[in-house]
Amino acid sequence: MKRLSEQDLKDMVDGAAIFSAGGGGDPEVGYNIVDRLTEKGLVAQMVDPSEVPDDAFVINFACVGATTSVAYRGDAALRTFQALEDYLGKRAFAAIPVELGGFNTLAAVDVAARRGIPVVDADGAGRAVPEVHLKVYTIDDIPLAPMAVADVEAENMVLVKATKDARSAERIARTLATEWEQTAYTARRVLTGKQAKTSPVLNTLSKSMRIGMLLRKAVDPVNAVLKETEGFKLFDGKVDKIERETKAGFTWTTLTLDGVHESKGQRLELKAKNEVLVAHKDGKLAAIAPDIITPVHPETGKCVTAEKIKKDDKLAVLGIPAPEKWRTTKGLELWKDVLQRSNIKEEYSPIEKLNR
């Protein structure tokens, strides 16, 4: 069990955002969560998956909805978490983030600290993802329900006892988020301690803190992150054109960058459904999900989330290989379905192959 300092948590915000593919919520909200935890004197603790007792259970927690509509109330989030505990009839041993992102990862940390339990050093995706069912747990056939869903104030709350499949749970949560001003809290995916040791992407919170520390200390943060993640710099550019629309619980963004420095004379197009899903350089595929495509500030290396990018912004675009679990046949099938419904038709090709 590791007690997380204020600096640990701020590093976690910045590091998790690198794996967010430009989604996962605004890191500024993550920083605000850290500030409130510090002000209240609440203790955030992290437990290694190997230390979770086999007969204990762990609850995944996150917000769902459009990234332009993120709002967060810690006490209401806790009530949502406790509603699922009440239904299960027992206290969770720990909470676990459903994904990596500058906000959503910290939401799980916050709920755990308020509940007086640790957060597991793992998450359900190893990156940020646009849909509720798009988690590595689905590969392992772990049910998404039971699930508690609530609005930002937890004034409206729905308990979903069971669903036909994980995709059905996504539709329910997304519909409620859309009804509740494009955002909702969800407590879901109850894991046994035994499952928590194998099903999530492991040790991703400590990895995020390491990345955050590099961003804070490295002389060349971008290259330090690329070395640590075995990633690629896909592009250096300036935003020439941007289109954005919030609908049906998602923030849809398409942007085009004109190249600068070593990318001069080239153009890059990014398409995002909350998260960036595909990159085309001069009309050719440069990266595609589940590999991680993250826009960052070219000097600080910190993530610039898709919903905050503006015309004339200067960006570096990083490409990071997806966790191996996403590259399995079942993992790629889950992503193919999401990509095709997002009007992205290309077949997956590993980022290493596209950028060798």
d(C-alpha 94, C-alpha 284), whole Å: 44
Each residue's pLDDT tens digit, 100-112: 999 999 999 999 9
Above 70 in pLDDT, residue 315?
Answer: yes
Residue 189 pLDDT exceeds 70:
yes
DSSP string, 87-154: HHTS--SEEEESS--TTHHHHHHHHHHHHT--EESEESSSS--SSTT-SHHHHTT----SEEEE-TTS
Query: For residue 240, is pLDDT > 90?
Result: yes
Return the domain boundaries, the chain: 2-204, 216-354
Instruction: Identify whether the C-beta of residue 183 lies closer than 8 Å to the C-beta of residue 216.
Output: no
Percent of the chain with pLDDT over 90: 92
pLDDT at res. 139: 97
pLDDT at 19 over 90: yes
Whether the CB-CB separation of 132 and 125 falls below 8 Å is answered with: no
Q: What is the mean pLDDT of the chain?
A: 96
Residue 293 forms beta bridges with which residues? 319
pLDDT in tens, 132-167: 899 999 999 999 999 999 999 999 999 999 999 988
Residue 67 has pLDDT above 80, yes or no: no
pLDDT band at residue 182 using 50, 70 and 90 as cut-offs: confident
Q: Quick check: 348 pLDDT over 80?
A: yes
- 131 φ, ψ (degrees, to nearest 5): -130, 150
pLDDT band at 27 (very low <50, low <70, confident <90, very high): very high
**CATH value of 216-354 in 3.40.640.10, 3.80.30.20, 2.40.390.10, 1.10.150.120:** 2.40.390.10
pLDDT confidence band for 208 (50 / 70 / 90): very high
What is the mean predicted confidence (pLDDT) over 220-227?
98
Residue-wise pLDDT tens digits, 284-298: 999 999 999 999 999
Query: In this structure, what DSSP letter does residue 355 have?
Result: T
Give domain 2-204's CATH architecture: 3-Layer(aba) Sandwich (3.40)
For range 238-260, the mean pLDDT? 93
Q: What is the pLDDT of residue 68?
A: 65
Reported as a pLDDT band with limits 50, 70 and 90, residue 69 is low
Looking at residues 323-330, what average pLDDT do you find? 98
Task: Please give the pLDDT value at position 101.
Answer: 96
